[in-house]
């Protein structure tokens, strides 16, 4: 049965978005767009306003996803920042604090992240409707289903490079088949069939995956390179469309004024992450197209992770990547949902090994390490930062400068309970 929803695949209509009490998102449903009552999970009375306001009785694309199930079980509860005294509309925030439970007994803090801004949200909706010469209240899912790309996806048995050609994410700029197979095998919103083929995907599963890949690949990276396997990413807890739930972290910018030993520890971790993105057991090279203070976050135990992976590209050093550098020749509405697609995508051939280090040493580490250490040590740190942040130097020269900087920082770290991610192991081993 075809859905008559007019939100982007129903994605903004997550139960978790009851926090957006004051702002109508892009989920504008036609009056006759109703789901049979039997298909709508029962909502507890405390969330009835969410059904009414967000149209959860009208939008059904997210029904059945992990995060929607969590909402209906009341296993996601929002902090009291919605209180009126804050005087801020909910769309002011890019992330929202919440509490998450697996059993409604023990709770832990999480973040609800907006994968694209409200402006981009509205812009992409207008572009979808305009592509079909429809009104702003058009049925977006219906429009997208008629596109050539979606028709190819619905017929496809396997996710292949031609299916993602022209999508704006740097992760998909030059994908290998090995990377695409990993996406299918580890996509958390379908039952794990242990196969690289998409036979177990419903049409809506395929549409949801395509839409997420087009909007923001951050939740996909969290699923296919999980923190539990040692990757520097927070735990994925669920997503649908434009919103994501993940483990709570504090952004790096909140630590710019931290004491010297903590700054040394965070800088050491950051350089370590850059090493792991370049050299890892799976032979993928991860590179940033852009870095800012919100890109990285710190857990309560002091461990630093990548907080926003939306600007991360992936190059397969083992299998090699299909060169899609001419992909600007193939563009459709999915290429233009969040970007101005008039401009060509940068070539994967322009990515250098030093790219991550240069950005980190230019933009983040000087603000974290400036003026915090004894004069002679500070001079060594500043000198190494100048070298590793110099884009005119060779890859090896930048990498060597970063390695020297790590060597300077390592003995400046302390071993105490504040750094629970490596304590008490650091008392017994220099490795920590």
Mean pLDDT of 305-326: 81
Average pLDDT over residues 84-100: 60
At 98 the pLDDT is 77
Kindly state whether residue 225 falls inside one of the protein's structural domains: yes
- Whether 181 has a pLDDT exceeding 80, the answer reads yes
Kindly state the tokens that stand for 42.
């029962």
CA distance 428 to 422: 11
Token representation of residue 287? 């590179």
| Average pLDDT in the chain | 78
Residue 20 has pLDDT above 90, yes or no: no
Q: Are residue 133 and residue 241 in the same domain, yes or no?
A: yes
Task: Answer yes or no: do 126 and 152 share one domain.
Answer: yes
Domain boundary among 200, 225, 246: 246
pLDDT at position 225: 96
Question: Region 278-306: what's the mean pLDDT?
Answer: 93
Give the end of a domain, one of 246, 261, 283: 246
240 shares a domain with 280: no
**d(C-alpha 338, C-alpha 329), whole Å:** 18
Tally of domains within the chain: 2
What angle do the packed helices 355-363 and 260-278 form, to 10 degrees?
Answer: 160
Same domain, 178 and 281: no
Question: Which range has the top average pLDDT, 161-170, 344-353, 373-382?
Answer: 373-382
Portion of the chain with pLDDT greater than 90, in percent: 45
Angle at 67 between CA 5 and CA 250, to 5 degrees: 120
State the helix-helix crossing angle for 203-215 and 148-155, rounded to 10 degrees.
130
Last residue of a domain, one of 222, 246, 270: 246
| Domain extent for 279 | 250-306+352-420
The helix (run of H) or strand (run of E) holding residue 298 is: strand 296-298
Looking at residue 325, its pLDDT comes to: 47
Two structure tokens written together for 323: 């060169």
Indicate the pLDDT class of residue 198, thresholds 50, 70 and 90: very high
- Looking at residue 207, its pLDDT comes to 87
Tell which wins on pLDDT, 5 or 414: 414
Please tell me whether residues 190 and 274 are part of one structural domain.
Answer: no
Residue 309, token pair as written in the block: 């992976």
Task: Tell me, yes or no, whether 282 and 411 share the same domain.
Answer: yes
With b meaning 16 or more CB within 10 Å and e meaning fewer, what string describes 244-274?
A: bbbbbbebbbebeebebbbbbbbbbbbbebb
Residues 278, 395 within the same domain: yes
Residue 61: C-alpha distances to residues 180, 192, 203 (Å): 23, 20, 11
Considering the domain architecture, whether residues 197 and 257 belong to the same structural domain is answered as no
Question: What digits encode the pLDDT tens for the residues 200-212?
Answer: 998 888 988 998 8
Domain presence at residue 431:
no
Tens-digit pLDDT profile for residues 32-87: 333 333 333 333 333 433 333 233 333 445 555 666 667 666 677 665 546 444 44
- Does 286 lie in the same domain as 158? no
Residue 294 has phi, psi (to 5 degrees) of -90, -5
Q: Which residue has the tokens 């490596």?
A: 422
Residue 17's pLDDT band (cuts 50, 70, 90): very low
């Amino acid at each position: 049965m075809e859905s008559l929803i007019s939100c982007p695949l129903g994605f903004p209509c997550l139960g978790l978005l009851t926090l957006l009490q004051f702002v109508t998102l892009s989920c504008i449903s036609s009056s006759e767009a109703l789901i049979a009552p039997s298909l709508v999970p029962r909502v507890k009375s405390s969330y009835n306003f969410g059904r009414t306001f967000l149209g959860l009785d009208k939008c059904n694309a997210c029904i059945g996803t992990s995060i929607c199930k969590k909402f209906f079980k009341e296993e996601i509860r929002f902090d009291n920042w919605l209180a009126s005294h804050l005087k801020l509309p909910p769309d002011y925030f890019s992330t929202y604090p919440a509490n998450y439970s697996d059993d409604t007994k023990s709770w832990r803090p999480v973040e609800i992240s907006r994968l694209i801004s409200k402006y981009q949200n509205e812009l992409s909706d207008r572009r979808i409707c305009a592509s079909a010469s429809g009104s702003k209240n058009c049925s977006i899912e219906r429009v997208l289903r008629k596109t050539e790309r979606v028709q190819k996806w619905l017929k496809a048995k396997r996710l292949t490079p031609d299916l993602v050609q022209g999508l704006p994410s740097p992760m998909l700029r030059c994908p290998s088949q090995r990377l695409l197979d990993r996406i299918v095998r580890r996509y958390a919103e379908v039952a794990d069939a242990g196969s690289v083929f998409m036979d177990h995907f419903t049409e809506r599963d395929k549409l949801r995956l395509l839409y997420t890949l087009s909007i923001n690949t951050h939740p996909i990276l969290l699923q296919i390179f999980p923190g539990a396997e040692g990757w520097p990413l927070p735990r994925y807890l669920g997503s649908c469309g434009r919103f994501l739930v993940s483990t709570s972290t504090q952004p790096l910018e909140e630590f710019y004024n931290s004491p010297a030993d903590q700054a040394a520890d965070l800088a050491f971790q950051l350089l370590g992450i850059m090493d792991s993105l370049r050299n890892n057991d799976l032979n993928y090279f991860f590179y940033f197209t852009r870095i800012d203070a919100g890109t990285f976050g710190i857990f309560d135990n002091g461990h630093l992770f990548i907080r926003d992976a939306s600007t991360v590209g992936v190059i397969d050093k083992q299998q090699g990547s299909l060169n899609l550098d001419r992909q600007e020749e193939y563009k459709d509405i999915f290429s233009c949902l969040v970007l101005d697609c008039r401009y060509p995508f940068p070539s994967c051939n322009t990515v250098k090994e030093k790219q991550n280090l240069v950005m980190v040493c230019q933009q983040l580490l000087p603000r974290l390490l400036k003026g915090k250490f004894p004069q002679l040590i500070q001079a060594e740190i500043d000198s190494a930062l100048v070298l590793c942040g110099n884009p005119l130097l060779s890859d090896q020269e930048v990498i060597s400068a970063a390695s020297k900087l790590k060597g300077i920082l390592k003995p400046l770290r302390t071993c105490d309970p504040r750094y629970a991610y490596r304590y008490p192991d650091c008392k017994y081993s220099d490795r920590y």
